[in-house]
Structure 1
Amino acid sequence: MKKTSFFTPTAFMLSGLFSLHVLAQDADGVDEPASEEAPVKLEDLVVTAALEPLPANVVASSLTIITREDIEARQVKFVADLLRDVPGFNVSQSGGAGTQTQVRVRGAEANQILVLLDGVRANDPASSDEFQWQYALTSDVERIEIVRGPQSSIWGSDAVAGVVNIIRRKGSASRSLSARAELGSFGTTDLAADGAWSSDTLRLRAGVSHYDTDGISAAAVGTEKDGAENTTGSLGLEWDLTDALTLVASAQSVDTTSEFDDIDSAITGLPEDADRVTEGSQAYWQGDLRFAPAASAWSGNLGVSYSDTDNDNFSAGAFRSSTAAEVLELRARTSVSWGGKNAAAHRLTFALDHRETDFSARGATSQSADNQDQSMDVTGIAAEYVGQPFDGFNWSVSGRRDDNSDFGNIDTWQIAASHQVEEHVRVRGSYGTGSKSPTFVERYGFFPGFFLANPDLKPEESKGWELGVESDWLEGRLTLGAAYFDMVLENEINGNAFDIDSGLFTAVNRSEDSDRSGFELTLDARPVPGLTLAANYTYLDATEPGFSGDLRETRRPRHMASFNANWRFMDDRANLNLNLNYAGEQDDVLFRPPLFARETVTLGSYTVADVAGAYRLTEALELVFRVSNLTDEDYQEVLGYGRPGRAYYGGLRGRFSF
């Protein structure tokens, strides 16, 4: 495997220091156009960090916002690939496009981060409560809000380490049609179309995308290609029924086919070529009725959402197994503000929600013991106070109780504060708790003769805090940030425990705590008009108890960093984007036949460079190109699974208004 020696975390931050030097030279000598003045300050509202929207510059938790402009500049096709550049995030993919993808935040497990679609839960109970990142395309994404740290007091179970809110494109005041067509390496075709229509009171949007690739071999030593196909369609509606009442509705359908490889359980314990296929379908719809009178301090919301996911697995063309889940959720929220001109001077919000989940699993034989039909319901009530006792200081306290049909009452809470110490410096901090309920598979099993169910599992619980500081200088052209975080996980579920009596693997709650701590550094700069730079570095220490002391948790690099440079030139007709992503050494595990004893294997560090560019041929038509893995880095994110080498893509995208 190729070793990374030049691009290190230090190199990333040195690139940021170089930008400081350029900024210092140009601060007094460049007259920027009005459109370039101080865009770094985020005054827009964030809908994920509290029960009601908050200005981004008072959010006390670590916050990252990815915009549509960022997505189009980088030309990234999958949401998970955008998250590789977020501080504290590590992405592990078992092969090429469409293969299993897991996202871990600040050392937490992959199912300890809550994912929302337009503010509605999207974690899949049919996939161990993980969001299926390998199926999430960026075509219809307008914005992604990422809040790190425990957020269960707002969102309930799964929000142990943070929340990712994927906000889809909405209808706008204009009428438009956009389309994209691209071809590239590995037999890849990427097509998308999107349309918006509006009147004085009604805004509509529809979009469809199709991604198809022959792929690479998922197994690093394999030669058989594992392809993927994804067709995603979405609809959105906003209807102003009155000046104070708005109906918001959306729907999304995803149909996928993904090929992958199997584990050689006889000799190596590593992946090898195999004819394995997963066919998946996901359907989401939601509706909200929002009441917000312009001159009133009171607002409210009633909502309903439904999701239906299905995963069918095949081996050599024969049905092997399937999992499916349906989730129905009802929501109500009301908020009242007081305290003068600033709506956030004092705000009290109450929320009530009820969620019903049905889970089913089927094996190759319909009458076999691996069949499961289970259900669970949760009723949650939450309250939050947000206050600004004096200019520059904001604080909040929130609490939530979930009444779970299987686990009883689960209580979580958070307290947070943000203080603008002086014009250029803000300090912030938060302390909160999180919870994660056991998955259906952990409790009831699905692999008889191999995995022993444990219906007595308890929910995982976390306690976490962070302190951060942010500063902006040179009229907003330079922003620096730093944050320290610490989280303790109690009742952690070990899904690979060995039961001596039965001779099977099972899931148990650990009696000892797991610890995750570290710090994040960020830099955003605009040294000259048209050029933006962004860099970040994360140090992570994630450990779990072992027989001989604490062990490093698997697939958690100690060092992670990213760097992005975007240059708009030729009067904004052309754009170039360079992105570097670094991950340090990380441990993985191997269960080598015939004893299948746990064996720790270290995966090497790597740096992946991507380049993207665009040139506007006309006002409506743009030529685009992209080179991924520019240096042809040979690396693995999961032991035994390869990642794509250098690849080239190109095409056209257009936008037409009418």
Structure 2
Amino acid sequence: MNKSLLAASAALLALIPAQQVLAQDAAPFDDVVTELEPVYVTTPLRRPSTITQSTSTVTVIDEEDIAKSAAPDLPSLLRKYPGVNITTNGGQGAQASVTLRGASASQTLVLVDGMRVASATAGSAYLSNIPLSAIERVEIAEGAHSAQWGADAIGGVINIITRDGSACANGAAICTTVETGVTWPWGGFGTIATRGITDNGVDFNLGLSLIGTEGYDFTTPANSVHEAGRDGFLQGSLNYSIGKDFTWGRLYSEGFYARSNPHFDSAPYADWVTGDTVYGANQSIQTNSAFKLGAEVDHSDDWSSVFEIYSAFDYQKNFRDGHPEADTHYDTNRFGLSASTTKEVFTGGALNTFTLGGEAYRETVDSSVDYTETSRNVGAFYGQYGLEYEALTLNAGLRYDADEQFGGALTYNAGVGYELVPGLTARASFSTGFNAPTFNDLYWAYDGSYMGNPDLDAETSKNWEAGINWDSGNGTVIDLVYYENHIDDMIAYVSAPPSYIGTMENIDKAKISGVRAVWSQALMDDRLGLDFGFEYRLPENETSDQYIANQNRLKLTAAASWQATEALNLNADIEYVGSRWTNTASFNPQLGDYTLVNVSALYDIDQAARVKFAVENLFDEDYETAYGYNAPGTTVTLSYQRTF
């Protein structure tokens, strides 16, 4: 199909993201329109609330959305949603960066079950090592949320919630689901998961997954690290949850572990002084994990407390076969604990919700590279207040973080929502955020050309947004928002005379403004769901007076999900992304616009078995999200799933 035709189709359809949180799932074949229960989220306010009560922009990707998607991995799934920008250095298994609202990857907080999982050295999470088979839902809260979560939540928070031990869909107390499939480019996968509730009330889930693909050549010849040949990927993972309810509350534990062997390009080069050939690593062993143990204590019907301890690590070992001199490793460990208490008070017909909490964590680094410091401690306490009175909703919060390196950071948020008429709600919010410098920024020991700067301050931000949401109650949902995010003391690389030794300094300012709209429509007694998305943003570096590199400015999406028969579900989506600048230097070209078409079909053989056929990038669009790196071409998946 002609590229310009696809772009035009997307522009006409997508006035507004595919599979948005408010879209409704297809209903069974009957004459009754299903009335959906409110969707509850925990990420925006760090306590359960509906999406409209959060007074900020929230998207939820649920288990059914994941099942219907043609995406083979988490980065491919996330990129289809509003506000989200994904930059990948290749295909499956490659390093992928996720950003929200034009912020950088280190300014976007990624959590797994509420636990920080980003590398303390690089500042970003290894998304490719979080398999889709382990995910129950994803909550995306846009805008600054440091008043709830602390550092790194300038652009927003992505909370990846793993599968729990809830009851089986087939009505059995305990069930096991097995799925196996093949992909092209040639690869395959297999998963097995057992979940349920035992006779003594213990709910549990245990999942295992193995994924492998031969991949393709990730880099273009224009890339200085280009090596001809396929870049493959092999990953094994485990996820679990276990819990039990008691008269006093609940005791639980959950976590995931993933280990993979991604390949990448790193062409040998001649040392400019000695002329010797230098070989760099071209594959790695990447290990990611996060585990927590928690207890929820119900003091009364309207008062509860939560206590948790957790451990998360990000280990990366880089190497090249036959060249031990290329070996490097970067290992991050993070240990933390948190406690919070929430009390509800009804007064004069109003519901007042008070939350007080605190947390502390320690980050340590073990690396083949020297760091002048290899650990730091962070402690914080926070308070949140919520008011619900008739058509009015108010949220406000304050948090103080004490970081052993740069001192303290005080952040706050305030939001208001008002239901103007039934179904039509206006909202506005203001929030501040901060981003802690990474160990690479702060503590990298002098290596002849670069050294860290221990005097760096945290990056800070002020974010405001105003929006309106319309839920007709009969299948139409529209959400429109305008936002601005002002970022100060952005950390930037500098290399100045006379030494030209590189380091990091707080020098930049940015303003990111944008408008985002989504429209979801359910038709034919909920058998047909349509979703449209539009986002236009201006990510401007005010110091250099240029666009921020590698950030989307225009994004249009459209999606359809049709329950054709009781057994057959058909899905398609279109994504158009406008051109982007690669960096602020004029010698690098723009990345061109692109249009992707993805399709999937799910067929229920019976109540226990399902076949899925999916094609991502149906028309084999040739595009790049990062300069010099080929994005995936057509990817085909055929899988079979059965529950026992």
Residue number in structure 2 paired with 1:191: 190
2:343 paired with 1:336:
yes
Does the 8 Å CA contact 2:54/2:395 hold for their aligned counterparts?
A: no
Does the 8 Å CA contact 1:198/1:204 hold for their aligned counterparts?
A: yes
Per the TM alignment, residue 452 of structure 1 is displaced from its structure 2 partner at its CA by: 2.2
CA RMSD of aligned residues (A): 2.4
- Structure 1 residues 613 and 446, CA gap change in structure 2 (3 angstroms): farther
Per the TM alignment, residue 580 of structure 1 is displaced from its structure 2 partner at its CA by: 1.4
Residue number in structure 2 paired with 1:481: 479
Distance in 1 (CA, whole Å) between partners of 2:391 and 2:298 is 26
Distance in 2 (CA, whole Å) between partners of 1:373 and 1:216 is 39
Per the TM alignment, residue 11 of structure 1 is displaced from its structure 2 partner at its CA by: 3.7
- Structure 1 residues 631 and 312, CA gap change in structure 2 (3 angstroms): same
Does the 8 Å CA contact 2:371/2:444 hold for their aligned counterparts?
A: no
Distance in 2 (CA, whole Å) between partners of 1:413 and 1:71 is 34
Distance in 1 (CA, whole Å) between partners of 2:562 and 2:390 is 37
**Structure 1 counterpart SS, 2:282:** strand
Residue number in structure 2 paired with 1:455: 454
Residue number in structure 2 paired with 1:291: 297
Distance in 2 (CA, whole Å) between partners of 1:589 and 1:393 is 44
Per the TM alignment, residue 134 of structure 1 is displaced from its structure 2 partner at its CA by: 1.8
Return 5+ residue gaps in structure 1 as ranges: 19-29, 268-272, 364-369, 591-596
Residue number in structure 2 paired with 1:112: 107
Distance in 1 (CA, whole Å) between partners of 2:269 and 2:486 is 35
Does the 8 Å CA contact 2:372/2:445 hold for their aligned counterparts?
A: yes
Give the letter for the 1:501 counterpart.
Answer: P
Does the 8 Å CA contact 1:12/1:536 hold for their aligned counterparts?
A: no
Residue number in structure 1 paired with 2:614: 626
Does the 8 Å CA contact 1:414/1:432 hold for their aligned counterparts?
A: yes
Does the 8 Å CA contact 2:15/2:534 hold for their aligned counterparts?
A: no
1:492-571 to structure 2, matched below 5 A, reads: 492-494=490-492, 496-510=493-507, 512-529=508-525, 530-546=527-543, 549-571=544-566
Distance in 2 (CA, whole Å) between partners of 1:489 and 1:323 is 29
2:143 aligned residue (142, 145, 149) = 149
Distance in 2 (CA, whole Å) between partners of 1:133 and 1:36 is 38
| More off after superposition, 188-197 vs 219-228 | 219-228
Distance in 2 (CA, whole Å) between partners of 1:454 and 1:329 is 26
2:318 paired with 1:313:
yes
1:28-43 to structure 2, matched below 5 A, reads: 33=30, 36-39=33-36, 43=38
Distance in 2 (CA, whole Å) between partners of 1:138 and 1:36 is 31
Distance in 1 (CA, whole Å) between partners of 2:35 and 2:14 is 19
Distance in 1 (CA, whole Å) between partners of 2:139 and 2:229 is 38
Does the 8 Å CA contact 1:311/1:324 hold for their aligned counterparts?
A: yes
Q: How does the TM-score come out when normalised to structure 1?
A: 0.89
Give the letter for the 1:642 counterpart.
Answer: N
Residue number in structure 1 paired with 2:577: 583
2:332 paired with 1:325:
yes
Residue number in structure 2 paired with 1:26: none
Give the letter for the 1:315 counterpart.
Answer: R
Per the TM alignment, residue 581 of structure 1 is displaced from its structure 2 partner at its CA by: 1.6
Distance in 2 (CA, whole Å) between partners of 1:106 and 1:650 is 34
Distance in 2 (CA, whole Å) between partners of 1:446 and 1:197 is 51
**Structure 2 counterpart SS, 1:441:** helix
1:606 aligned residue (594, 597, 600) = 594
Per the TM alignment, residue 266 of structure 1 is displaced from its structure 2 partner at its CA by: 7.6
Per the TM alignment, residue 445 of structure 1 is displaced from its structure 2 partner at its CA by: 1.8
Q: How does the TM-score come out when normalised to structure 2?
A: 0.91
Give the letter for the 2:589 counterpart.
Answer: V
Runs of at least 4 residues of structure 1 off by over 4 A?
263-267
- Structure 1 residues 353 and 35, CA gap change in structure 2 (3 angstroms): farther
Residue number in structure 1 paired with 2:639: 651
**Structure 2 counterpart SS, 1:517:** strand
Per the TM alignment, residue 378 of structure 1 is displaced from its structure 2 partner at its CA by: 0.8
**Structure 2 counterpart SS, 1:454:** coil
Aligned residues: 613
Residues 250-293 of structure 1: per-residue CA shift (max 9 Å, x gap)? 121110111111368789xxxxx986011111221101100125
Give the letter for the 1:261 counterpart.
Answer: D
- Structure 1 residues 300 and 292, CA gap change in structure 2 (3 angstroms): same
Tell me the percent identity: 23
Return 5+ residue gaps in structure 2 as ranges: 17-26, 168-172, 222-226, 272-278
Per the TM alignment, residue 6 of structure 1 is displaced from its structure 2 partner at its CA by: 2.3
Does the 8 Å CA contact 1:13/1:535 hold for their aligned counterparts?
A: no
Distance in 1 (CA, whole Å) between partners of 2:98 and 2:597 is 20
2:43 paired with 1:48:
yes
Residue number in structure 1 paired with 2:23: none
Per the TM alignment, residue 115 of structure 1 is displaced from its structure 2 partner at its CA by: 1.2
Per the TM alignment, residue 308 of structure 1 is displaced from its structure 2 partner at its CA by: 2.1
Distance in 1 (CA, whole Å) between partners of 2:268 and 2:6 is 34
Give the letter for the 2:486 counterpart.
Answer: V
Give the letter for the 2:130 counterpart.
Answer: A
Give the letter for the 1:485 counterpart.
Answer: Y
Give the letter for the 1:505 counterpart.
Answer: G
Distance in 1 (CA, whole Å) between partners of 2:70 and 2:608 is 18
Distance in 2 (CA, whole Å) between partners of 1:104 and 1:17 is 22
